[in-house]
Structures are given as structure tokens and as C-alpha cells.
Amino acid sequence: MKITLKILLILLSFQWICAQQPSKITDVIVYLDGAEINRTVSVKLKAGTTEYTLNQLSPNIEESSIQISGLKKASILSINYGINYLSKQKQSDSITSLQSELKTFDDKIQYEYDLISGYNEELSLIQSNKRLGNETEVVSLEKLKTFATYYRTRITELKIAINKSNKTIEGFQSNQTDIKKQLTEFNVDEKVQTGEVKLKLNSDVATQLNLKISYNIKNAGWFPIYDLKADKINSPINLEYKAHVFQSSGCDWTDVNLVLSTSDPNTNNEKPIVNPKYLNFINASSNYKSQRATKSYNYKYNPLVKTVNGVVTSSQDGLPLPGANVIEKGTTNGAQTDFNGRYSLKTTNGNTLQYSYAGMKTEELPIHSSIINVTLDDDVALNEVAIVGYGSTKKDYTNSASLDRALQGNLSGVNVVAANRTLGTIANVRVRGSFNPTGGLLSPLYIVDGVYMSIRDVANMKSEDIKSIQVLTDANQTSLYGSCGSNGVIIITSKPEAKRRINELGIVVETGITNTRFEIDKKYTIPSDGDVTVIEIDKFNVPATYDYFAAPVLNENVFLTAKIGNWEQYNLLPAEANVYFEGSYSGKTNINPSATTDSLTISLGVDPNIIVKRTQLNNFKKTTFIGNNKVVYKGFEIEIKNNKQSNIQLTLLDRIPITQNKAIKLDDVKTGSSTYDEDKGLLKWIINLASGKTDKVKHSYAVKYPKGKRVNL
């Protein structure tokens, strides 16, 4: 009986060990901010209920994102995610090696201290036994010399040994300081807790399941960096698209299949509600602030940026703002702009910069580039005029109705409540069974091609791009999507035609309706140390039109620019670019595909061989008085010299001020040979200049305003 019981206990123990075998990360989808982790594990179930624990997971899992598949006929009774404070995170090999080296140096330092202690004991012993002979015995001279030699020699040896040990200790301590700095650079997290998911599974029969577990984490992401290489003017630009992948989730990604997605699951997906705005008089002493629309920058935090430089200017006149504050949000680390509006700031632990100036609206931008130029808008608090216009925006919302029609009447379990199309909104979609006690409509969870999507992105889908739509209303189905699926889940599958290609790097690029995915063709290992792994993901040979540009009213440098047409086809993201021209590194620039222009203009650097000087004409340096008015005359000459070996075309910009007050009048405007935009006050010249030649252009104007007033000329 005892033998049978012992065998039974061994079998039960073996079954428990099988159930507790570790899971393995096989696939990772890395988003711009966050990642989806896919694990696999083989689990043996007994008939009835089996509890299984996935341990040694990241402590930063978004609980509502946990999904389980591969259940066959088994069912999930419960899923619980928690933190195990007794389980230690595994540090990367490099960090473990450094920490081990620190301890080794501790032992070596202690050994040297022990040697010093022994040397001091011997010194003390020698010092206390220096007396020779006694009161009745006289020590011979020869014996005295022998003892003196011994004392001198041994004491010298001991002091040299003590000094040597002290120097050795200093060396070890210096090494320890360097290691500690390196560990700080690695952003070593001293937290020891890990995450774990406890599953309670039920099966009618004993079976073995190959489970797939997926969940989202936030401590990961990727950001793009571009290399722009132009061999010479009028040749195509080589654009190399690189991804910098990082993660500090607490778990290494070892030999995993990697997919990079341009989606950002952390974007605010709540569509704005536009209510009427009513004008009324307000107290001049009130702290009324005008409501400001949320700007869409699409910039993402770049952890590699340690120093940010840039210029802060005013949107009203384009002039630099001296004394503007630049603060690393959440810290006391900051800087002020100089007289030319320039600033330089070394970053610490923050990931956002905050720009502020008296009378201007504060701007916030993620630290995405080592060059961040910012334009601040005026903060108009009083005498505000609200203008409501319809149809002025270029964004096309007409396709949103197509999705509504696909849902309404074609799928059971779905109600579509029409919205006011005049405001460019979309229909409200409600899955039957969802209930809001406040009476409002509850929006379902949208999943397009396996990716969470906002209702705004889904609204822009065309019906011809949709292959199928599935509505999940059953609690067992929606539970797979956590609390996010409590209002129903709408799964949309798009048509695969013409959206997959293999680029010259062998990477599959899948262009979806709202994002682009790069399926990396080889496995990668990315440790959980926050360091960056660089992956080249695409390469383009881009036709470009080259031009020189100068705006000496702001900067007398001449910039070489390359204009790229039809740039939408490359699906680029806003990011920093390293510029190489004629085989040399020219510096950095920023690519901003979010601009609404038809072409994308990239700065390739400053060309010192083209000289532009803007000077005020002497015969216009005068002020006169006519009645109660003061008249100021302004005239400028711009000289351009081409010191290059080749002919050039230069776009030259200047401006004439625009009056915003009826008491300030602009007279005698002379724009010369420029193209003049009267609404914006901008002057534009297209100058073709042969090698070694010089050209000049002029413009002038007069400003009349009441005496005793000052004007920002």
C-alpha cells in the first residue's frame, strides 16, 4: 500500500512538472510605442479542471490585452494576471557580467585591506620591541648595526607594501566607478518582481494543448532613422529606412520572429465631440483661455537623443524668440533661448520637452530628434472671434458611410445610428447587448487584420477594401479581448490584393489601410536592457529635384534642398535623417511627411560656395513727419554671388510687413523683379546664376503711423 501511494505521488509530481514547463517567446510585433508578445507552451490537461501558471513574465503586461488560443475543445474558466514579488527578473548577460565583476573587485579590495592590516600589525610589533639589551648588559656596536639594518629594511618594506596596496585599492575602486556608470547607462532596473498569468482550464478528457498566449506591453517600441545619400546634383537620392528597436520589459526576446508595425496602440482613440460655441462678453480681468485643438505631430520618443538643439520662433512674424523657456517635462532640467532664439539642452530622464514664452501658447513635443525647431502661436485670450465653417477641410470623410452601409442591414446584432455628416463625423455603431446606464452609446472594439484600430481609422476605410466583417457578441468570444471587448467586437478583414511586396532587402512589406508592417526575414535576439538594435527595413532610389534656397531676412546661409514628388508611396514616418552629400557627412535634418504639401522638401545642408548678403540701402535710412504721422522708409538690396564651378538655380525669399492695425499704413511698396504674394507679404525670386557671376535684387516700402507710437519694424 505504501509503495502504491509513493508511485502515485511520483506520477502526480511528474504531471505537475509537465504542466509547469516554461513558455517561450516565438513572435513579437513591435509598435511605435509598445509591443505584442506571442508565447507558446505545451500543456497536459487532465479530465476536469487544471490550473496552470505562466511565470517569469514581464511585470508590465496590459492585463486587458491577454488572449489565449489553441484550446481545441477545452475551455477557460478564469484568467488572472498578477505580480510575483518573490521571483527575480533575469538580467541580461552583459549586466550580470558587470555586476559579477563589481563583486569580484569587492573581494580584491577586501584582500588588500587585509594585507594592510597585517602589515600594520607587524609594524606595531617591531615598534614595541625596538629596545635592545637591559640595564646590566651593553649591546655591542656590531650587534646594534645588525638590528638597525633589520629595523630599517623591514619597516621600509612594510611601508612600501602598504603604499602599493593602497594604490591597488584606488585602481579597483576606479574600475568599480566605471562599471557603475556603465550600469547606469544600461538603465538597470533594481526591481525584482516578475509577472505571471494563472489559467484555470477545463476539459472533458485528458489532452495535450499547444497554447498560444499573446499580450501587450508598454516598455518597448521602435523609431525610424533615415540615411539620405546623394552622390551629386541632379542624381536620385538613396533613402535607407532603418528601425531602432528597444525594449526593457524584463524578459529577453531570444531568437524571435520580428514584425515592425507603424501602428501606435497608445494613441488616444476617443473621437472628439464638437459642441456649439456661444459668444458672449467676458470680464477683462478674468483668466479666460481659448480652447486649443490637439495637434497631430506623430513624433515618437527617441531614447538615443541625449542633447537637443533648435530654434524657437514666433508664428506671427517668423522671428526668433529670445528668452523662451525649454523644460524637460517632469524635471527641473531646462534652458533658455539666446538672442537668436537658439537653445541647447542635455536630456536626463524625461521624454517630452515643453516650450513656453510670455504671451504664447505652450507647446509640448516628444524628444524625437537632436534638432527640434518650434514655432509658438500667440495666446489670444480676449476679443476672440469664433468662425464655424463647413466643407473647408480637405480631409475626405465621404468613405465613412461605406462602412456604415456594410454594417447596417447586412450583419445581425448591429445597430447603426446616423450622425450629423455636416461636421464630418461618422455613424455611431452599437453592438446589441451592450448597455450604458447613462443612456449614451457604447462603442465596440474594432480589430482590423488582427490589430486594434480607432473608430476614426476604421471610418476612413473604403467598402471595396473590406473582405469580410465579423461581429462577436457572445461573452465567451469577447472575453478573449478582455474588458476592451465588453461592448462587442467587430473584426474586419481587408482584401490582400496589391498590399504585400518583398523589397530588395528580402523583407516583406505589408501596407494596410491604416498602418505598414515590416516582416523581418531573420530571427533577432533583443535583450531587455533598453539598448537599441538597428535593423534596415527598406531602401528606395528616390527621384529628386535639386534647388538652392536662401531667406537672408532670417539666415544668410544658402541651403541645398532636394524636392521629392509623390512621396506618399514610400509610407515614411516623421523622423531624423543623417544627410550624406558627395560622399561626405553633411549633418542632420528632419523628414516630416505629415505636411500637407504636394512634395517633400529635404535640406541637404549649407553650401558655403554661394554667398548671399542682405543690406539696408542708405537712401532709405530716413524718417520724416507729415502732419501727425511719422513715416519710416525701408529699402534693402540682396546680393548673390556664385563661387561654385557649376551654374545654379536659387530660390530667394524675403518679405514686406503686413499691417494689422488701421492706424498703420503701408505705402510706396516696390517689389522689384520678385513674385509678390500680397496676402502673406512674401517676395520670391527664382535666380539662375552662372559660375563666378553676381546678381542683385532690391525691394522697398514706407510705413506711416501716428507720432508718439512705436511699431515693431
Q: Give the residues across from 54 on adjacent strands.
A: 197
Res 435: pLDDT: 47
Which of 170-179, 444-453, 549-558 is least confident?
444-453
Res 636: pLDDT: 93
Burial class (CB in 10 A: 0-12, 13-18, 19+), 17: exposed
- Mean pLDDT over the full length of the chain: 79
pLDDT in tens, 289-331: 555 555 656 677 888 788 898 899 888 777 888 889 999 998 8
pLDDT in tens, 568-617: 778 888 888 898 888 888 888 888 877 667 777 888 888 899 999 999 98
pLDDT band for position 220 (cuts 50, 70, 90) = very high
pLDDT band for position 114 (cuts 50, 70, 90) = very high
Mean pLDDT of 402-413: 53
Res 447: pLDDT: 81
> Does the pLDDT value for residue 141 go beyond 50?
yes
Pairing of strands 648-655, 629-642: unpaired
> Does the pLDDT value for residue 3 go beyond 70?
no
| Cα–Cα distance measured from residue 531 to residue 539, given in angstroms and rounded to the nearest whole number | 24
Which residues are CB-contacts of 617 (< 8 A; sequence separation ≥ 6)?
635, 636, 637, 698, 700
pLDDT band for position 174 (cuts 50, 70, 90) = very high
The string of DSSP codes covering 373-415 is -EEEPB---SS------SS------TTHHHHHHHHTTTSTTEE
pLDDT band for position 19 (cuts 50, 70, 90) = very low
| Cα–Cα distance measured from residue 416 to residue 513, given in angstroms and rounded to the nearest whole number | 22
> Does the pLDDT value for residue 83 go beyond 50?
yes
Residue at 106: amino acid letter: D
Res 194: pLDDT: 84
pLDDT in tens, 497-541: 547 888 888 898 888 777 889 999 899 999 887 889 999 999 988
Q: What is the percent of the chain with per-residue pLDDT over 90, rounded to a whole number?
A: 27
| Cα–Cα distance measured from residue 214 to residue 234, given in angstroms and rounded to the nearest whole number | 49
Query: In Å, what is the CA distance from 47 to each residue of 7, 40, 73, 106?
Result: 20, 22, 12, 55
Mean pLDDT of 471-488: 67
* DSSP helix/strand/coil, 108: helix
Which of 118-122, 182-186, 636-640 is least confident?
182-186
Mean pLDDT of 220-240: 89
| Cα–Cα distance measured from residue 424 to residue 388, given in angstroms and rounded to the nearest whole number | 13
| Best CA proximity match to 319, nearest among 684, 662, 713 | 713
Res 303: pLDDT: 80
pLDDT band for position 442 (cuts 50, 70, 90) = low
> Does the pLDDT value for residue 385 go beyond 50?
no
Are 652 and 639 in contact by the 8 Å Cβ rule? The answer is no
Mean pLDDT of 673-685: 92
pLDDT in tens, 628-660: 888 889 899 999 999 988 899 999 999 999 888
Mean pLDDT of 206-215: 92
> Does the pLDDT value for residue 343 go beyond 90?
yes
| Cα–Cα distance measured from residue 447 to residue 699, given in angstroms and rounded to the nearest whole number | 59
